[in-house]
């Protein structure tokens, strides 16, 4: 009696962990730089190949973090550089690090946003940080060597 072989389940190829999966972008504190950030995240995702939901989440999280640096980090009216680093850490985990030399500020220390409160009762601000916390599995802030270092980690799935 012959039994029909069950079809083998095809798993996606493993994530490509290589030097190309660590990329660094230097930005100026200017909102016009957001288009460069978008292109940078897209280029990284083209190499790593996460699903579309993960690609969009990475874009949103980094746009929020970078916009906060640009809007709130530098108050002297001068041009400043800061960096965004993206790296595939292991199978399915992306680490994003935003490093700036602005005044010390821990965005993660903000009180939680009450998203259930009526709009007229909500405090202004904080929704971007709320999104960052919701769209990442881990978020860390530290002040290191005179710089703000915001580290964000997101588990991703490879596009099928």
Average pLDDT over residues 97-110: 91
Looking at the domain assignment, is residue 26 inside a domain? yes
Residue predicted with more confidence, 47 or 35:
35
Q: What is the CATH number of the domain that holds 84?
A: 3.30.565.10
> Tell me: the pLDDT tens digits for 123-134?
655 567 878 898
Residue 94 lies in a domain: yes
Number of structural domains the chain divides into: 1
pLDDT of residue 72: 87
Residue whose tokens read 């996606």:
12
Nearest to 73 by CA among 148, 140, 151, 123: 148
Question: What pLDDT sits at residue 92?
Answer: 82
Is residue 82 in a domain? Answer: yes
Task: Give one word for 116, left, alpha or beta, with left for phi > 0 and alpha for psi -120 to 50.
Answer: alpha
Query: What are the pLDDT digits (tens) for 55-73?
Result: 999 999 999 999 999 988 9
Residue 14 falls inside a structural domain: no
Beta bridge partners of 152: 96, 139
Note down the domain range covering 123: 19-155
**Does 111 reside within a domain?**
yes
Report the predicted TM-score, pTM, of the whole model to 2 decimal places. 0.81
Identify any residues that bridge with 23 across adjacent strands, giving them in sequence order: 86
Terminal C-alpha separation, the chain: 36
List the one residue out of 108, 90, 101 whose CA is nearest residue 151: 108
């Amino acid at each position: 009696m012959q039994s029909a072989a069950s079809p083998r389940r095809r798993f996606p190829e493993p994530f490509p962990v290589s030097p190309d999966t660590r990329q660094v972008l230097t930005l100026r504190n200017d909102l016009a730089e957001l288009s460069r950030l978008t292109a940078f995240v897209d280029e990284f995702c083209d190499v790593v190949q996460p699903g579309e939901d993960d690609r969009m989440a990475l874009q949103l999280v980094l746009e929020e973090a970078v916009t906060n640096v640009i809007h709130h980090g530098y108050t002297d009216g001068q041009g400043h550089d800061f960096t965004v680093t993206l790296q595939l850490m292991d199978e399915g985990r992306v680490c994003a690090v935003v490093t700036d030399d602005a005044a010390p500020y821990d965005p993660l220390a903000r009180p939680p946003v009450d998203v259930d409160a009526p709009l007229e009762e909500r405090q202004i601000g904080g929704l971007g940080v709320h999104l960052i916390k919701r769209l990442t599995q881990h978020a860390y802030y530290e002040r290191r060597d005179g710089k703000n270092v915001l580290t964000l980690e997101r588990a991703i799935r490879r596009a099928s």
